Chains A and B, each alone.
Chain A
């Protein structure tokens, strides 16, 4: 304790002496990360307490918008780190020449899959799932059952939403060439397609649909923040596609050492413990015992599915075309 106080005091003095030339670390991320109720503020405070730097989060729309912004800015970008892309976007970031290798050994990851990406490190993850009211009957356990039922679902457009794209990848992963058939079967279950997650979830809460594409962790929000146990996620026997949210070091980083320290900090408990009840996802490097109460009640799928960044980039356009053709009828 005493050493912490001394350290804090020293940092404060150093900070005062060098107020003018405090290094700035600029992190581009998605909007909801930097909101007052998001993970951003707590993480900023915790990192600034030890880094002797000024950590600045810049929210720029959703994950895809962050990537467009970086591509528009190119070489002149002020950004040091990008945080909040998912594995469907990382290949494009690498291909655009934005990324540098992080050179960090991440041995304590708690992802359900092996992580080897030299450009990106995960900070949280979740299983896509259809969320429904807990009192719903005949909850389907495969896409086939869902397609054959008269259950009404609301999903997101893969062209403008990461969960929407995740669902297209999920169906593609499970059914391969049979994906078109499943989508044609699902077409009459789809109430509508929304531009983003918010609209879909809003429609679901207004009882416009029986189920909404979201995450297995969504019921935790209602349980913990609203003390409402009335929501559940349907477990599909075929497995659940993963969304892994990552951060990476940009080529435009000024202080590579400081940026590296942030990425290392990202995988420590101080950062990771903020995630579950602010981002409502699973932290990428935190033991299950350390998760807050309520997370133990969630559905945990047996099988986790994911394409590598390269595979995802390669099949994306065709999978999208299949989706579009089946739902445009």
Chain B
């Protein structure tokens, strides 16, 4: 492979430059904080406890999310039913919910005064307590199960129809299907999906603290927050930031070791319909998986919506302005994120060290937003007014944070496209943009739409660094929502949350739909 000419080398060279750029933009702020700090003060015992707790809860959350996603993704891949598109789209909602809203939604179901406990008391079965490690994992699964499901589903749908038809011809039973299709597919996809979710959970702060039930649920991110805000100890904050990066790198290496390749070969880009070895029992299992996961995701969302929908009409004008501003920021960072991701994905596709390179992209979810924000502030402040740049900086940071999700969606598809269409394209002498347009991009459309949708929704809902850079008249919708919550205006805040959810979902749906035109998903 190394000896083969790189047919779209221009784009790939750009990808290389972008990777460097991304590394600079992520590690630069961290270095700025390190330089500003007057020496490393060393860690306290409580910091070690925080590191331990962070690793345990993130590993559990990632593991449970991915395991739970298997039956759901499998069911979605195998079944066709009315409203399937809506089901898939709705599955994207929790991921983009602001933390406080997601927590309130979960508590409406699982909390002390929640529906579940009301039902349990009704049948005289006592009550359950959500707070603790269980609550943390439950919340992280709620937030990340949809992402895990979508990532696995992409892999299922990438299996060429020809293979499935061959399996039918060979009369595959359930066991053979698992062995020849599902196991290789999971082997190739699960480690990457688990890694992304693990990293998202390592920077969890508010969810872990609130549902963890007390200071024993302190994560590294909270320790960083304390170092910055409570002690103003930049050295310790930077050291903890470096530890987050180290955790990210270690987890990336582990996932890379575990990941296999699926190697299904090429096909004619038609999605598979019926699967071999499908029995009546399997069908019932699929229905059960879809119903349970659907209820788990939808009921808290219904609670959130019911609380806030009535307040939307009466929202203050400033909230609507903030919403408009957020849409622009989200669109801007989506464009930037896609521009960065596409060349990087093409560069990484088919490279032996691709997990390592993709790890670079993952850094941005593993590094504390507070560290990035502070570092950027330190870099920008001497040369320009950070307040004047508050929205562009927010857009750029959101693009960086969304980058890993785009890469995760694009890289397998790009690898696949190059593997299946590459030789034909070579034979036809397709180079540069022509190759990109005819051979590669058509196969990237679906993941590109999905990834761009995710990036837009994520950017819409992310508080990111705006809090540190906020300026009068520059508030984004999440910031506005937090201000409403902070001024007793809980109901308006819940209304703003529903608006935020609707806009994020709308953006996600638009992009995702754009990628799926003429496709069966």
Using a CB–CB cutoff of 8 Å, the interface residues on chain A facing chain B are 31-32, 34-38, 56-61, 64-65, 67-69, 71-73, 76, 78, 92, 96, 152, 157, 159-160, 187, 190-199, 201-203, 205-209, 218, 221-222, 225, 280, 323-324, 327-329
Please determine whether B490 and A157 come into contact, CB atoms closer than 8 angstroms: no
Q: How far is the CB of B43 from chain A (nearest CB, A)?
A: 16
Using a CB–CB cutoff of 8 Å, the interface residues on chain B facing chain A are 36, 46, 100, 103-104, 107-108, 111-113, 131, 205-206, 209-216, 222, 225-226, 228-230, 232, 316-318, 374, 377-378, 381-382, 385, 387, 467-468, 470-472, 479, 482-490, 493
Please determine whether A160 and B211 come into contact, CB atoms closer than 8 angstroms: no
Partner of B107 from A78, A201, A208 at Cβ < 8 Å: A208
Supposing A191-B131, A208-B112, A324-B46 touch, asked if A160 and B470 sit within 8 A by C-beta, the answer is no
Please determine whether B472 and A160 come into contact, CB atoms closer than 8 angstroms: no
Distance of A323 Cα from B226 Cα, bound (Å)? 15
Supposing A157-B209, A160-B222, A193-B215 touch, asked if A201 and B488 sit within 8 A by C-beta, the answer is yes
Please determine whether A31 and B470 come into contact, CB atoms closer than 8 angstroms: yes
Q: How far is the CB of B107 from chain A (nearest CB, A)?
A: 6
- Cβ contacts A to B, 19 pairs, < 8 Å: A31-B467, A31-B470, A34-B472, A64-B230, A65-B467, A65-B468, A159-B222, A160-B222, A160-B226, A193-B210, A194-B206, A195-B205, A198-B486, A199-B103, A201-B485, A203-B104, A207-B113, A208-B111, A329-B216
Please determine whether B206 and A195 come into contact, CB atoms closer than 8 angstroms: yes
Supposing A36-B318, A192-B131 touch, asked if A197 and B486 sit within 8 A by C-beta, the answer is yes
Please determine whether A199 and B100 come into contact, CB atoms closer than 8 angstroms: yes
Q: How far is the CB of A152 from chain B (nearest CB, A)?
A: 7
What's the dominant secondary structure at chain B's contact region?
Answer: helix
Supposing A208-B113, A324-B46 touch, asked if A193 and B486 sit within 8 A by C-beta, the answer is no
Distance of A30 Cα from B439 Cα, bound (Å)? 54
Distance of A316 Cα from B317 Cα, bound (Å)? 41
Please determine whether B131 and A76 come into contact, CB atoms closer than 8 angstroms: no
Residues of A within 8 A of B493 (CB): 198, 202
Residues of B within 8 A of A152 (CB): 112
Q: How far is the CB of A79 from chain B (nearest CB, A)?
A: 11
Residues of B within 8 A of A190 (CB): 213-214
Q: How far is the CB of A319 from chain B (nearest CB, A)?
A: 12
Partner of A160 from B230, B377, B387, B486 at Cβ < 8 Å: B230
Supposing A65-B229, A199-B210 touch, asked if A32 and B107 sit within 8 A by C-beta, the answer is no
**Whose C-beta in chain B lies nearest to the C-beta of A187?**
B214
Residues of B within 8 A of A157 (CB): 209, 215, 222
**Whose C-beta in chain A lies nearest to the C-beta of B479?**
A31
Please determine whether A37 and B316 come into contact, CB atoms closer than 8 angstroms: yes
Q: How far is the CB of A204 from chain B (nearest CB, A)?
A: 10
Please determine whether A327 and B216 come into contact, CB atoms closer than 8 angstroms: yes
Distance of A34 Cα from B209 Cα, bound (Å)? 28
Please determine whether B490 and A32 come into contact, CB atoms closer than 8 angstroms: no
Residues of B within 8 A of A92 (CB): 232
Distance of A203 Cα from B317 Cα, bound (Å)? 27
Please determine whether B100 and A202 come into contact, CB atoms closer than 8 angstroms: yes
Distance of A76 Cα from B384 Cα, bound (Å)? 12
Distance of A26 Cα from B205 Cα, bound (Å)? 32
Supposing A207-B112, A323-B215 touch, asked if A194 and B381 sit within 8 A by C-beta, the answer is no
Residues of A within 8 A of B46 (CB): 324
Supposing A36-B318, A37-B487, A61-B467 touch, asked if A206 and B104 sit within 8 A by C-beta, the answer is yes
Residues of A within 8 A of B206 (CB): 194-195, 199
Partner of B215 from A73, A197, A199, A324 at Cβ < 8 Å: A324
Supposing A190-B214, A202-B104 touch, asked if A32 and B487 sit within 8 A by C-beta, the answer is yes
Q: How far is the CB of A69 from chain B (nearest CB, A)?
A: 7
Q: How far is the CB of B35 from chain A (nearest CB, A)?
A: 13
**Apart from A37-B316, A65-B467, A194-B210, 14 more pairs, CB < 8 Å:** A32-B487, A35-B487, A64-B230, A72-B374, A96-B232, A157-B209, A157-B215, A191-B112, A194-B209, A195-B206, A202-B493, A207-B112, A208-B107, A209-B112
Please determine whether B316 and A72 come into contact, CB atoms closer than 8 angstroms: no
Q: How far is the CB of B304 from chain A (nearest CB, A)?
A: 11
Please determine whether A198 and B210 come into contact, CB atoms closer than 8 angstroms: no
Please determine whether A327 and B205 come into contact, CB atoms closer than 8 angstroms: no
Please determine whether A218 and B488 come into contact, CB atoms closer than 8 angstroms: yes
Ordered nearest first, which 6 A-B pairs have the shortest CB separation? A207-B113, A198-B485, A328-B216, A159-B226, A36-B318, A64-B229
Residues of A within 8 A of B468 (CB): 60-61, 65, 69
Q: How far is the CB of A282 from chain B (nearest CB, A)?
A: 16
Distance of A32 Cα from B487 Cα, bound (Å)? 7
**Whose C-beta in chain B lies nearest to the C-beta of A323?**
B215
Residues of B within 8 A of A206 (CB): 104, 107-108, 111, 113
Distance of A15 Cα from B272 Cα, bound (Å)? 73
Distance of A181 Cα from B476 Cα, bound (Å)? 44
Supposing A58-B387, A157-B209 touch, asked if A202 and B490 sit within 8 A by C-beta, the answer is yes
Residues of B within 8 A of A324 (CB): 46, 215
Q: How far is the CB of A195 from chain B (nearest CB, A)?
A: 5
Partner of B488 from A194, A280, A327 at Cβ < 8 Å: A280
**Which one of B232, B316, B484, B488 has the greatest number of beta carbons of chain A within 10 Å?**
B488
Supposing A32-B483, A72-B381, A160-B230 touch, asked if A195 and B215 sit within 8 A by C-beta, the answer is no
Q: How far is the CB of A82 from chain B (nearest CB, A)?
A: 15
Supposing A64-B230, A160-B229, A328-B214 touch, asked if A37 and B489 sit within 8 A by C-beta, the answer is yes
Distance of A64 Cα from B215 Cα, bound (Å)? 19
